[in-house]
Amino acid sequence: MKLVSFFSLLFLSTTHAQDRPNILWLSCEDISPTIGCYGDPHAITPHIDALAKCGVRYTHAFTTAGVCAPCRSGIITGLYQSTLGTHHMRCNAQLPPEIKPFPIYLREQGYFCTNNSKTDYQFKAPRETWDISGKKGHWRNRKDPKQPFFSVFNFTGCHESGIASTSKYQTVTKRLSPSERQDPAKLTTLPPYYPDTPAVREDWKRNYEVITAMDAWAGDLLAQLEEDGLSKNTIVFFWSDHGVGLPRAKRWLYDSGTRVPLIVHLPERYRQNKQGTPGTVSDQLISSIDFGPTTLSLAGLPIPKTMQGRPFLGAKTAPARDFVYGARDRMDERYDIIRMARDKRFKYIRNYEPLKTFYQYMETPEKGVTMKELRTLHEAGKLKPNAEKFFNPTKPNEELYDCEADPNELNNLADDPKFAGELKRLRSAHLKWVKDTKDVGLIAEPIIIELEKEVGSRYGILRQKNGDALSKQLAEAAVLASSGPSALPNLTKLLDAHHPAIRYWGATGLGNLGEKAKPSQAQLTQALKDKSPAVQIAASRALCHMGSPSKALPVLQHLLINGAEWEQLQSAIVLDEIDDQAKPAEAEMKKALSTKVAKNKYVIRVIKRAFQELDVR
């Protein structure tokens, strides 16, 4: 009954008891648009479906990363994580004084701002960000019932752990009725890049059921709005932080990882310029960094010039986007630098580290049943091509997909001459974005740490004098490093560049070429003495890949034990990557398994995996 009465009230005219709207965010974790109103035939989501009937459903909403923390840092600031320096999963950036979480602007104008669950911004939020952040974060806790509020509630039950952990799954779904349960054998939506086995279908079933549990949670909060008499003057957003928490989705820049549900309900009194018509479906491109600016716009506040996001609702909307963009960087213990540009139809992906396989071994996703099933069947030679391709030892430099004709993004068109124009257009858009947004993510993490100490923030690294020129050089060097053998002469020249971030890409690019980079062996050997440990490590990797590890191993061994945190990790990754060549370093690798030596848990994870691989061989 609460559901029916709440949504019937949304169509009624309102009184003017309040000048400014309340704004409620209902966010959830790790779900794609696997919802009834998005056309999914199996989804049981009556509350979200009803909200869509009373609001606007966006079909082309995307997050800037396929993982939570980098994405959330962008949502709360309105900036790309790769601009802010919060791009690596589980990093801790210093927020510069000119960048503020957007709830601060709301609070300055009298809003009561609460966050009920999860911050995870990868920086220490200023104290003035929230009135209340935590379990007591609720609009009901404001002292003045007439005070406008901005309240965020986040449902954690559909996080990947709600699928992977049987105990959590059972807890999250314990209130579902028999009619709300799914029969895994009848699910017709299993992606073609998964093996069709009972174990994988069980994970897919769990995904649907935790989403149904989320729907009930959302319905309860909407009912609370009605109970408090607030349904007629509260704008409601519903969104997810990224795609489903399963392999080749979460952590990735394919639509399975970045395309999310987004629904916004505007009560009648706040509809302007034909915005918010009930039941509207919009295909305009929306980025998750647009959520904050849009909230400020709906509250009648100006948008800070530092924000890169654009308001898509309110009195002053920005021009429609031509592209949305995304970035993948370090995911826990593994680096894989990837960038994405997408328009309404085509997706472009640049793999800056094509020498790495898609499915690098990472402890967290490897715990999931689907990932275990993928790896087991791969090792048995029983995977079908659409699943097996992600175990290829290398990746293409570029990927291009027609997302309308190929929604699962399996047919790479980058080498198809019929799509040469689209490839050039999106490649150019991607490179312009990297340069214009000053992509700090193209700087090796050990170098970032040192520069942050000098400058005061990661955001400021490429905003110093000559920052524009350095940003341009950095972008071009990174592209060059993934451009194949023709780049050899220019990559070698980069080893003499003034800035260590450029020299790093020179060495990395030569490493990507492997034995084809042998003409540059003397220059790489000299780079082992570079002032930057990150450059030393990249040069060591390159020498190992061209079959000359004798001079490189001592550098890796030394930095593995004595290096700073991220120097240790990068040394460990190279030792894991070079397989049997790492055997002379076994003693140092064993030392690195000690928490007294390793400066973070990721170093230990990588070395453990390296020993597992050595044992297999």
pLDDT tens digit sequence for 142-168: 999 999 999 999 999 999 999 999 999
Q: Are 147 and 110 in contact (CB under 8 A)?
A: yes
Q: Are 508 and 539 in contact (CB under 8 A)?
A: no
- Determine the Cα–Cα distance for residues 361 and 221; give it in Å rounded to an integer: 39
Tens-digit pLDDT profile for residues 75-107: 999 999 999 999 999 999 999 999 999 999 999
Mean pLDDT of 390-398: 96
Tell me, rounded to whole angstroms, the distance of Cα 256 from its chain centroid: 12
Mean pLDDT of 451-465: 96
Mean pLDDT of 169-187: 98
13 has a pLDDT exceeding 60: no
**What's the pLDDT at 16?**
35
- Residue 400 tokens read as 């291009």
Q: How many CB atoms lie within 10 A of CB 301?
A: 19
Q: Are 462 and 441 in contact (CB under 8 A)?
A: no
Chain mean pLDDT for the chain = 95
Beta-strand pair 56-62/259-265: antiparallel
**What's the pLDDT at 343?**
98
**What's the pLDDT at 614?**
81
Q: Which residues pair with 339 in a beta bridge?
A: 327, 350
Tens-digit pLDDT profile for residues 577-611: 999 999 999 999 999 999 999 999 999 999 999 99
Mean pLDDT of 305-325: 96
Q: What residue segments make up the domains of the chain, in order of their start? A: 2-11+20-313, 442-616
Of residues 293, 239, 243, the one with CA closest to residue 65: 243
**What's the pLDDT at 232?**
96
The edge-to-edge listing of strands for the beta sheet with 398-402 is 324-328, 338-342, 346-351, 398-402
284 has a pLDDT exceeding 90: yes
Q: Angle between the 445-455 and 500-513 helix axes, to the nearest 10 degrees?
A: 180
**H-assigned helices in 58-157:** 68-77, 81-84, 103-108
Q: Are 576 and 613 in contact (CB under 8 A)?
A: yes
Q: Is the pTM of this model over 0.75?
A: yes
Of residues 510, 512, 513, the one with CA closest to residue 496: 510
Torsion sign (Cα): 112, 117, 120, 125: positive
Query: Quick one: pLDDT band at residue 542, thresholds 50, 70, 90?
Result: very high
Q: Which residues pair with 153 in a beta bridge?
A: 26
268 has a pLDDT exceeding 90: yes
**What's the pLDDT at 12?**
35
Q: Are 99 and 128 in contact (CB under 8 A)?
A: no
Q: Are 258 and 250 in contact (CB under 8 A)?
A: no
476-486 burial, b at 16+ Cβ within 10 Å, e below that, comes to bbbbbbbbeee
- Determine the Cα–Cα distance for residues 87 and 445; give it in Å rounded to an integer: 10
**What's the pLDDT at 417?**
98
Q: What angle do CA 133, 137, 139 make, to 5 degrees?
A: 135
Tens-digit pLDDT profile for residues 423-441: 999 999 999 999 999 999 9
Say yes or no: do domains 2-11+20-313 and 442-616 share a fold: no
Give the single-character DSSP code of 254.
S
Reduced to 3 states (helix: H, G, I; strand: E, B; else coil), residue 317 is: coil
**What's the pLDDT at 9?**
44
**What's the pLDDT at 617?**
54
Query: Quick one: pLDDT band at residue 273, thresholds 50, 70, 90?
Result: confident
**What's the pLDDT at 616?**
60
Annotated catalytic residues are 68
Give the single-character DSSP code of 336.
-
Q: Are 28 and 155 in contact (CB under 8 A)?
A: yes
Q: Are 235 and 23 in contact (CB under 8 A)?
A: yes
Mean pLDDT of 276-281: 97
How many Cα atoms are found within 13 Å in the side-chain-facing hemisphere of 120?
17
What Rg value do the Cα atoms of the chain yield, rounded?
Answer: 25
The string of DSSP codes covering 382-434 is: ---HHHHGGG-SS--SEEEEETTT-TT--S--TT-GGGHHHHHHHHHHHHHHH
Length of the chain, in residues: 617
- Determine the Cα–Cα distance for residues 121 and 92; give it in Å rounded to an integer: 9
**Whether CATH 3.40.50.970 fits 2-11+20-313:** no
CATH superfamily of 442-616: Leucine-rich Repeat Variant (1.25.10.10)
What are the backbone angles phi and psi of residue 13, rounded to the nearest 5°? -70, 155
1 has a pLDDT exceeding 50: no
Tens-digit pLDDT profile for residues 502-530: 999 999 999 999 999 999 999 999 999 99
Tens-digit pLDDT profile for residues 246-258: 999 999 999 999 9
